[in-house]
A and B are shown apart, each in its own frame.
Chain A
Amino acid sequence: MKLTTEQIQIIDTALYKKCNFKDFDDVRIELVDHISTEIEQEIETSLYSFEEAFIKVMNRWNPLILPKSWSWYDNVSFIICKLWKKLDMKFLYLGIPFSAIYTFFYIQLLKQDFPVYSITVTIIFISIVCSLFLVYRKFFNKTKTTMSSYALYKIYGQVLVLLLFSVLFFINRKHSEVYLFPLIYASYVLIGKAWIMQKHIKIENQLLKVL
């Protein structure tokens, strides 16, 4: 037996409101489909009513979909957090050794009159463009996906850090290396987030076709 539109809406609302999937349209629609199929199976094989099957299936899903706090992520379900933690590893944590190595080479190469300052200015310019793109998307995203919510998480704070250290870097050109580590780290994170946002746009285009 196929579920009615109203019954599908009940599942969607449960995920949206109780499980806090309002910022993850892509995963929510996927789970609505999976849970609906399981409920249909339960109704067919166990002859349950929709309500009974709904409770049974949702109880099984609860550990995966109920929001919890995972390190600094509040109110996020296990399914979302798994991907976010992998992205953290790639962008937030890998950015630390990358920035340290860059700062080390910057100091060494500056002594040898290598044009490392211009290279750094180019990186800062790219990261500012990426920041503008992210802030623009913050206002004009038509859907919210796992990728976009990750990319826009604490975005204003990160953009502020980038701008603040960029200003300090340019004002104190003689001692620019002092501000380099946080500046390169913020650039790395924001360029990475812009790359994630590109992936969101692809998913958003798919979502807009069917929603």
Chain B
Amino acid sequence: MKKQQQLYKGSLNTIIMKLLEQNDKMYGYEITQKVKEITAGELSITEGALYPALHKMEAEGFLDVEMAKVDGRVRKYYKLTENGVKETHSRLEELENFIRNMQNIVAGPSFKLEM
């Protein structure tokens, strides 16, 4: 499980961006829960990774922020900017290529692990 988390780590931004593309706007807690739900608990994004990633993408101009009062407190929603949408598509393409290549390597007939 821990090793699997490491594999996901490099794709954290892409995962967040993909979720935002599908859901228009989301807030931090919602993102963590959605990831848990989609991966049936296999992957959990920690707050220590989520918020720095969101703040970095916001600073880079990939995310926009919208605030609203909900249940007596302020909720900060994130949504993709135009640049963010383009970046999401490009990152997803990269990720798909990566997965395809990994599948070819792992499932290929000549693949074997040598120690």
Contact with B along A58-93 (1 / 0, CB 8 A): 000101100000000000001100110011000000
Q: Is B59 an interface residue (CB 8 A)?
A: yes
Report the interface size class on chain B: 20 to 34
By beta carbon, the residue of chain A nearest B48 is A64
Contact with A along B13-47 (1 / 0, CB 8 A): 00000000000000111000000000000000001
A59 CB to closest chain B CB (Å) equals 13
User: What is the CA–CA distance of A188 and B56 in the complex, to the nearest angstrom?
Assistant: 20
User: What is the CA–CA distance of A210 and B48 in the complex, to the nearest angstrom?
Assistant: 26
Chain A residues numbered 104-134 whose CB sits less than 8 Å from any CB in chain B: none
- Do A29 and B74 form a contact, CB below 8 Å, given A82-B55, A203-B65, A210-B69? yes
A203 neighbours in B (Cβ, 8 Å): 65
Tell me whether A83 and B72 are in contact (CB under 8 A).
Answer: no
- Do A33 and B65 form a contact, CB below 8 Å, given A82-B52, A82-B55? no
| Chain A interface, >50% SS class | helix
Tell me whether A33 and B74 are in contact (CB under 8 A).
Answer: yes
Tell me whether A33 and B29 are in contact (CB under 8 A).
Answer: yes
A78 neighbours in B (Cβ, 8 Å): 48
B53 CB to closest chain A CB (Å) equals 9
Q: Which of A2, A29, A196, A210 contacts B71 (CB 8 A)?
A: A2
Q: Is B68 an interface residue (CB 8 A)?
A: yes
User: What is the CA–CA distance of A29 and B27 in the complex, to the nearest angstrom?
Assistant: 12
Q: Is A34 an interface residue (CB 8 A)?
A: yes
- Do A79 and B48 form a contact, CB below 8 Å, given A34-B28, A147-B59? yes
Q: Is B76 an interface residue (CB 8 A)?
A: yes
Q: Is B67 an interface residue (CB 8 A)?
A: yes
A167 CB to closest chain B CB (Å) equals 33
Tell me whether A30 and B51 are in contact (CB under 8 A).
Answer: yes
By beta carbon, the residue of chain B nearest A29 is B74
- Do A61 and B47 form a contact, CB below 8 Å, given A87-B59, A146-B55? yes
Tell me whether B56 and A207 are in contact (CB under 8 A).
Answer: no
User: What is the CA–CA distance of A33 and B29 in the complex, to the nearest angstrom?
Assistant: 8
B54 CB to closest chain A CB (Å) equals 9
Q: Is A26 an interface residue (CB 8 A)?
A: yes
5 residue pairs, one from A and one from B, having the closest CB atoms: A82-B52, A29-B74, A30-B76, A83-B55, A210-B67
What is the interface of chain A, defined by CB distance below 8 A to chain B?
Answer: 2-5, 8, 26-27, 29-30, 32-34, 36-38, 61, 63-64, 78-79, 82-83, 86-87, 146-147, 196, 199, 202-203, 206-207, 209-211
Mind listing 16 A-B residue pairs with CB under 8 Å? A2-B72, A3-B71, A3-B72, A8-B72, A33-B73, A33-B74, A33-B75, A34-B27, A34-B28, A36-B73, A79-B47, A82-B52, A83-B56, A199-B59, A203-B65, A209-B67
